Structure 1
Amino acid sequence: MVSKLSAFWKARKAPAYTRMSTQDHDERPRTNRSSFEESLHRFDQRRFTPWPNFSVEDGFKPQTDDTISTAGLFYPTRSPTQSNPGFFRKCKLMCTKFPVRDMSYLVGVSFTIGSAVFVVNGFFLLLPLIAPSTNFSTETPYATPASSVIGTLIFLVGSWVAVLEALNLDRGEPIVTEGIPLESSTESIFKKGDEESIQIKIRDHSTDSSSSQASETSIKKPTPQFQSSNTLSSNIQSNIPVSPAPQPAMLGSPTFIYFPSTYQLTNTYLRSIIFHASVIQLIGAIIFAFATITSIPNVVDLTNTTLLHYLNLLPATLGGVLFLVAALLQILNSHTLLSQPWTFWRKWDWWVGLWNAIGSLGFLLAGLLPWVANGAAWGTLQGTLADFWGSWAFLIGSLVQWWGVMGGYS
């Protein structure tokens, strides 16, 4: 009896198994599977939008011109040759490209800002003389000397940058054109008094019998060879690639220098008109700074005629004279670089020198006329007017230089 009860209890606890029908494991179940796009449309066509039609390689494509990047704004690549994009294109580049490594660009921008500050200073000096009602309490003791000091400091910085521009004007790195490195230094091509060029020999691989060996050979760097001017012109006419105009060295590049060596100074820079002009302009800015310092209230007693003449008006006059000499050298340099001497007015750096010369003349008369008038009212008025229109001339010249530099970019 006990054995029957235990067997019944075990049968009750055991799991119930269902016998499944035998299947042929060699045959796979036949199902109708739709594509992923059809499934999306079957679920809800409105809820899911179609995937964009692009490949993985599209994500690694370089940025187009429409994409604005920091490198494109502040570190644009300078063109190997002067592209001359046009007047309005250059104006647009002035607002969209900021090549902070280019010394020519920094010179134009710094002198533009400094000239604008001097224009404001000219208003502060001139308005109390022609319209006393416009004078305010803080104009003479604070606004006028502050604007003068700020403008002078910016002019000092711009003059030093102009020296760096002259030092690195032709020290650009070699330019690669169609895989052929070309020298871009004036120490090797187009030196004054030398008829020198670079002869580039291009091997015609199509006539080579062993084309496989020719493809493995490397192109050697061309070496300067003396040629006559007729040979150089024939090379240009026959479309043989020659070195473009020398490029300036950019700030931070291996070829950029702050101070020249003795050999470089005696053999290269002392023969450069631009270097002489920049150094003279820097000296003029330093001397002009003395006049700015002495014009600050309570620094020098300007009621003393002797102190006024020799500590204020004399440095202002000498600074204007040196500015004028530097501007005339700029005009001379732009004129001699032209092959056609009567088309100098087409060159933008000639206009820069002209407007700088006019501005320098205004700064010169600003210190000279009050000295000649010996305190007369007409001398003070005419000197202030000369300072005003001289500041405007410097501003125009600086804007033209800024505009012209942008022709090297695209």
Structure 2
Amino acid sequence: MSRRAADPPQAHDPSPRTSELDSTAQFSRHRATIHRPRTVTRPLPFFHPTRASFALHHPSAKEEIEGRPHARWSSRASRKHRYSRRPICIAHPSAEKMEGAIPEGPLQEGFSLLEQRVRHTEDQVKVHLAWDLSFWIAVVFVLGSAAWIINGFFLFLPLLNIGTDSFTASAWSAFAGGTLFEVGSYLMYVEALNAGHEELFAPALWELVAHGSGTVSDPPSPDSQSDTAEKGLTGAERGRRTFKFRWIGIGSWRELGFLACFVQMLAATVFWVSTITGIPNVISGLPEDPPTAITDVFFWTPQVIGGTGFIISSLLLMIEVQKKWWLPNLRSMGWHIGFWNLVGAVGFTLCGALGYGSLASSGENYQSVLSTFWGSWAFMIGSVIQLWESLWRESPAQ
């Protein structure tokens, strides 16, 4: 197909993101055909569809799809590598009226062979988690949230007359949390940039490490059938279309998932500035008697701007899994992840907004510190749910 694999399915093009094919023999045993999508969900009019439902036709193995006439696709599940891989045929609209058997070749007129990741009939734990980018994103955010919770204890307990104030410990724990959030947000951006090509992460990372160390060796293969870092068709079609894993670049601005991840990366970068300027001796006199203008510009304002970016990103990620922009999807783990991250983002934004008057008002200082504390716990809840999501394949109940 001429369409870029990184783009989501359109109303006129029912193919979701593709991945490297299994062997031709496996295809011949398990071939299925889907036609134009029965339903396409587009929560916001300007953006690409985020969900689609297809009708399946499997003439040689009807028992495999009995009671399950549809294949469902969602942009988040695809980006998070939550679909198991299975080869099928896609029937082009121009070939929908064709009669007779499906062509035997890997690619015949009116048909294109690709690997459609369709959910299995039961939940499955992901394999090769060591090379799963979504898993490491979740791990980094769990560690980052833990660092922020520790920071909250260092700041909040002295206000309750429990323990002693330790500005150095709170500053460095905040820097650790901000750094981990920056790393996690960048990996989210990389994940969205390479959506549908997650099997290329391991070879790309191995190549990056090998070049950095000056050694050359064969990259590990998470999939024994993936002996090349390319996307394409089996047989003669292999090599016609290739995709190189990208560590930086620009994706589609009409893709809700990519836009949300890009905004989050920018927000985390701005927020990170406040954790750097909060390190002891970077701003003289902080926290007792710092210069007001410098503190407001370089310490509190990045928290407000970064926190606002987190709010926007969380809202976009929630909308991505909804059928309509105003209708919550309480059955989706992705929605709950976005919701708790939204709560955490509000807390971090309030921390910066209330921080402007924290030196003049003990009440504002108390609420500013408290906002960081409960915001950190909200981020932890969202991160733990995200970690759980990264362990499992898509559930048929979702």
Deviation at 1:312? Answer: 0.7
What TM-score do the two structures reach when normalised by structure 1?
0.54
Aligned pair count reads 248
1:288 match? 271
Matches within 5 A, 1:382-393: 382-393=367-378
* Equivalent position to 2:154, from 120, 124, 127: 124
Partner of 2:258: 275
Query: In the alignment, which residue of structure 2 is the partner of 1:403?
Result: 388
**Unmatched 5+ stretches in structure 2:** 1-80, 86-117, 201-224, 226-230
Q: CA deviation at 1:370?
A: 2.2
Match of 2:316 in 1: 329
Structure 2 counterpart of 1:257, which letter? R
**Contact in 2 for aligned 1:168/1:256 (Cα 8 Å):** yes
Task: State how far apart, in whole Å, the 1-side matches of 2:276 and 2:199 are.
Answer: 41
Paired position in structure 2 for 1:156: 182
Equivalent pair of 1:82/1:407 in contact (CA under 8 Å): no
2:297 pairs with 1:310: yes
Name 2:192's counterpart in structure 1: 166
SS at match of 1:375: coil
1:6-155 alignment runs, 5 A limit: 79-80=84-85, 81-83=118-120, 99-132=129-162, 134-135=163-164, 139-141=166-168, 143-155=169-181
Q: Name whichever structure is richer in strand by fraction.
A: 2
Alignment of 1:213-252 (within 5 A): none
Which structure would you say has the larger Rg? 1
CA contact (8 A) 1:84 1:407 kept: no
CA contact 1:278–1:326 (8 Å) conserved in 2: yes
Kindly state the Cα deviation for residue 84 of structure 1 after the two structures are TM-superposed.
8.4
Change in 2 beyond 3 A, CA 1:258/1:219: closer
Please give the alpha-carbon distance, in whole angstroms, between the structure 2 residues aligned to 1:77 and 1:394.
22
Contact 2:338 2:382 in 1 (8 A): yes
Distance 1:395 1:370, change over 3 A: same
Gapped regions of structure 1 (runs ≥ 5):
1-75, 180-184, 189-217, 222-252
What SS class does the counterpart of residue 344 from structure 1 fall into? coil
Residue 326 to residue 140, structure 1, CA distance change in 2 (3 Å): same
What's the Cα RMSD here?
3.6
**Among the aligned pairs, what percent are the same residue?**
31
Does structure 1 residue 351 correspond to structure 2 residue 336? yes
Question: How many angstroms does 1:101 deviate by?
Answer: 1.9
**Greater fraction of residues in helix:** 1
**Alignment of 1:377 onto 2:362:** yes
Distance 2:387 2:189 in 1: 17
Q: CA–CA distance in 1 between the matches of 2:336 and 2:191?
A: 18
